[in-house]
Amino acid sequence: MNAKHMPSGFTLIELMITILILTIMIAITAPYFSSMLARMESKKISTSLQAILRDSRHHAFTQQKRIAICGSHDGITCDAEAWSTGLLIFHDATANRVREAHEDIYQFIRLNLKYGDLDWKGFGVSKNIVFQPDTGLPRGSNGSFYYCANQTENTRRIVVSPMGHSRIESHEC
């Protein structure tokens, strides 16, 4: 009863060839994966901004409160250079376009952008967007968000019209 026993498992050579093939596949697909993530971030920031603008406009009109949106690092104060970090949405009770300690914060949205930067350029001296309580319109606050991606095909411009509507356009930074 001498049954020959076949060893199960992989030989060292088979394992090395398998690892080599996996390494080659990862090296080939990594740039495409990064490009896909950049494309997804561009689409996400564009649609998220449209939803934020729509909700803020609706809230200003239905609650009859002046609602402001500004860039913020900390979720408490406005910073015109912090649009890529986060968006602060607050009740601008004093109508001075600056969040003060007694003004309610409605939401802070941390953006954590990895593949581009976001900036706001309003008409005039506007460093933020303010929706008026009587109409929900951004009187004097229309302008554009610019998402400047690391890859030019993913750059976007989100235009905010005087009526508070937004549209997404391709743009070069």
- Residue 1: its pLDDT value, please? 53
Percent of the chain with pLDDT over 70: 96
Question: Considering the entire predicted model, what is its pTM?
Answer: 0.81
**Domain, as residue range, for 59:** 41-170
Is 99 inside a domain boundary? yes
b/e code 20-46 from CB counts within 10 Å (16+ = b):
eeeeeeeeeeeeeeeeeebeebbeebb
Q: How many domains are contained in the chain?
A: 1
Average pLDDT over residues 36-58: 96
pLDDT tens digit string along 4-42?
766 677 788 989 999 999 999 999 988 888 899 999 999
Say if 20 falls within a structural domain.
no
List pLDDT tens digits, range 81-98. 999 999 999 999 999 989
Q: What is the CATH number of the domain that holds 112?
A: 3.55.40.10
**Is 130 a domain residue?**
yes
pLDDT score of 124? 76
Q: Render pLDDT for 149-165 as a digit per residue (tens, 0 to 9).
A: 998 899 999 999 999 89
In this prediction, residue 5 carries a pLDDT of 67
Tell me the three state secondary structure of residue 168.
strand
